[in-house]
């Protein structure tokens, strides 16, 4: 792959995908995403779009293998905390706050769970992908618990007997509803941001990024 092309990571499938693709199109980037390919080349600009799991995006930027990434603040925060603990690279720049991708990171329990506040979770097992943000919240609340790390399908954990509660991202609430769960505590509110790798880009690439940022401003202002 050419080093000359700007590499942008987007979520392949999930809460951010549709809005991200819409924004890229509104910025004039022509690219065919109707394939299963991991990398799609833009036809009219020196840009490659990488379609990955959203949770992999912050790490790709922090390792400098991708130039730009669209990501939820919560996922970025979790990856920063995880890498901080492991002593791995965390440097990056947040270059734009975006007006989409709003979601909550919430505790949820079975509909018939008699929830009386976070103390009700004392001593229980909570399934989540984002163990560090959950840990910070539970320590501040002074409630002991056990965490069960799942990278996906967190919402089925209570029914599967893997956990007593979950902590996961909620956007429309459809996933919780479909799994007989109720949201009982919001612990983090997040929207999407555009992040850039820390290491300087070539002049050509930085010019292209600046042009995209101006276009994003235009698109977002028009929507307000």
Binding positions for ligand PRP, 97-136, rule CB under 6 A: none
Site string for ligand PRP, 33-62 (x = CB under 6 A): --------------------xxx-------
- Among the residue ranges 23-31, 88-96, 165-173, 199-207, the one whose residues contact ligand PRP (CB under 6 A): 165-173
Which of ligand PRP, Zn ion, none does 172 bind, CB closer than 5 to 8 A by kind?
ligand PRP
Which residue in the set 5, 15, 51, 83 belongs to the binding site for ligand PRP (CB under 6 A)? 15
User: By the 8 A CB rule, do 88 and 123 touch?
Assistant: no
Residue with tokens 């949770």: 55
User: By the 8 A CB rule, do 69 and 194 touch?
Assistant: yes
Number of H helices, E strands in the chain: 6, 11
Residue 220 interacts with ligand PRP (CB under 6 A): yes or no: no
Count the residues of the shown chain that bind ligand PRP, applying the rule CB under 6 A.
Answer: 15
Where does this chain bind Zn ion (CB under 5 A)? 54-55
Structure tokens that stand for 151 in this block: 């990278």
């Amino acid at each position: 792959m050419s080093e000359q092309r700007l590499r942008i990571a987007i979520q392949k499938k999930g809460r951010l995908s549709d809005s991200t693709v819409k924004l890229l199109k509104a910025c004039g980037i022509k690219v065919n995403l109707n394939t299963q390919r991991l990398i799609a080349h833009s036809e009219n600009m020196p840009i490659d779009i990488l379609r990955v799991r959203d949770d992999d995006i912050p790490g790709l930027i922090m390792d400098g293998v991708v130039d730009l990434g669209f990501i939820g603040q919560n996922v970025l925060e979790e990856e920063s905390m995880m890498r901080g603990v492991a002593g791995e690279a965390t440097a990056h720049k947040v270059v734009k706050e975006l007006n989409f991708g709003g979601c909550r990171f919430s505790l949820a329990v079975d509909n018939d769970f008699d929830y009386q506040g976070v103390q009700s979770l004392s001593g229980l097992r909570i399934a989540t992908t984002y163990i560090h943000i959950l840990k910070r919240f539970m320590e501040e609340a002074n409630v002991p618990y056990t965490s069960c790390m799942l990278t996906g399908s967190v919402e089925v954990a209570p029914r599967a007997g893997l956990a007593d509660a979950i902590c996961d991202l909620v956007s429309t609430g459809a996933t919780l509803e479909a799994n007989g769960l109720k949201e009982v505590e919001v612990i983090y509110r997040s929207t999407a941001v555009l992040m850039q790798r820390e290491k300087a880009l070539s002049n050509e690439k930085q010019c292209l990024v600046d042009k995209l940022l101006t276009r994003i401003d235009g698109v977002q202002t028009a929507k307000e």
